[in-house]
Amino acid sequence: MKACLLLEDGSKFEGRVLGARGIRFGEVIFSTSMTGYQELLTDPSYRGQILVSTLAHVGNVGINDGDHESRRAWLSGFVVQDTPRRYSNWRARQGLSVWLEEQGVVGICDVDTRAIVKRLRQSGSMRGVVCAGSEPTDLLEQVLSSPHLEGRDLVREVTSLQAEVHGTAGKHVVAFDFGMKNYMVNLLQHHGLKVTRVPAQTSAQEVLELKPDGVFLSNGPGDPAALQPVVEEIKALLGEVPIFGICLGHQLLAQALGARTFKLKFGHHGTNHPVKDLATGRVEITTQNHGFAVVPESLPEGVEVTHVNLNDGTCEGLKTDKYRAFSVQYHPENAPGPHDSRYLFERFVANLEVGCHA
């Protein structure tokens, strides 16, 4: 069956169906990841987006039962150049197309993804639609009337519905689930921490009643500027317990400290983004998935930039010794991706040992 991707500038790319039939709207972005498509597809940070993979062949190893990063696929659509007719991996349980259909994700393959990515790099991320099956005559009008990502609170659509406790011993960390990936919980536990994963709407008072040694702010989708109620709760936690934030959590911590965020032209999505640690001069290869960034000039006195993106110079990390809080824009849990940033967990554990009232 034929399928197409239509961008809001009128660009149309035709191919064949991969996954579910139907019509799905979203912001069209691209990822430069060379591996780990199953982890990407189950990352809640992609809620409301249509993902274009720069990898030439996607689906070679099928889908297994162990690499899901959340309970389902969250993205609106998936666009690839080529997918094999047969998958081959001893862990695989089914093929990519069948799984996408089960998840309700509309996909398209046999398209020139290089041409799509080139257009997105030149013009920036755009609203778009993937259509598999009958194509309405007013499809472009529907794209132009679909919502922008700016101003959208998508966290409430992906957060957990109730608190979950992982582990029984060690320092106690309360983790705000803004779209938290499963492997992050695993790594926090791996570093000897007991983790209570709470919904995004949890108040600061409710968090403190759990008597945590620290707070973790997770990744997640959407515009951080649309989450002011959450920012207010983070403000109330500053100075009470050490805080560690990643991705969306980094942006929300920055806002709680008084900074602003802005929309990137086409975002950072992939597992090969170079970031420099300004304290050590060390360059890390990082996993990233975000469309917004912190305005470094808006950070108040006492809050310093700790990491910068070597591709575009954007802020990739910050810290404040006053509140014993720090954050990074990227994903140190590397699911998928390199292990260069795992030292950040040791830094967090060290902060927990000292606390905010030492």
Check whether residue 159 and residue 267 sit in a common domain: yes
What residue spans of 21-165 are helical by DSSP H? 37-41, 96-103, 113-123, 139-145, 155-158
Give catalytic status of residue 247 as yes or no.
yes
Check whether residue 205 and residue 234 sit in a common domain: yes
Check whether residue 206 and residue 347 sit in a common domain: yes
- Among residues 247, 250, 284, 356, the one annotated as catalytic is 247
Give catalytic status of residue 233 as yes or no.
no
Mean pLDDT by 10 residues, the chain (358 residues): 95 96 97 92 96 95 94 96 93 96 96 97 97 92 96 96 92 97 93 96 97 97 97 97 97 98 96 94 94 97 97 97 96 81 91 84
The CATH code of the domain that includes 286 is 3.40.50.880
Count how many domains the chain has.
2
Last residue of a domain, one of 102, 120, 145: 145
Burial of 141 (0-12, 13-18, 19+ CB in 10 A): exposed
Give catalytic status of residue 331 as yes or no.
yes
- Among residues 109, 315, 331, 356, the one annotated as catalytic is 331
* Six token digits for residue 237: 């936690």
Q: What is the pLDDT of residue 336?
A: 79
Q: Which domain holds residue 71?
A: 2-145
Check whether residue 71 and residue 164 sit in a common domain: no
Check whether residue 129 and residue 63 sit in a common domain: yes
Check whether residue 114 and residue 176 sit in a common domain: no
Neighbours of 157 (CB within 10 A): 15
- Residue 150 belongs to some domain of the structure: no
Backbone angles phi, psi at 259, to 5 degrees: -90, 175
Last residue of a domain, one of 145, 177, 202: 145
Last residue of a domain, one of 123, 145, 167: 145
Q: What is the pLDDT of residue 358?
A: 63
Residues 286 and 281: their CA atoms lie apart, in Å, by: 15
Check whether residue 168 and residue 290 sit in a common domain: yes
Check whether residue 210 and residue 258 sit in a common domain: yes
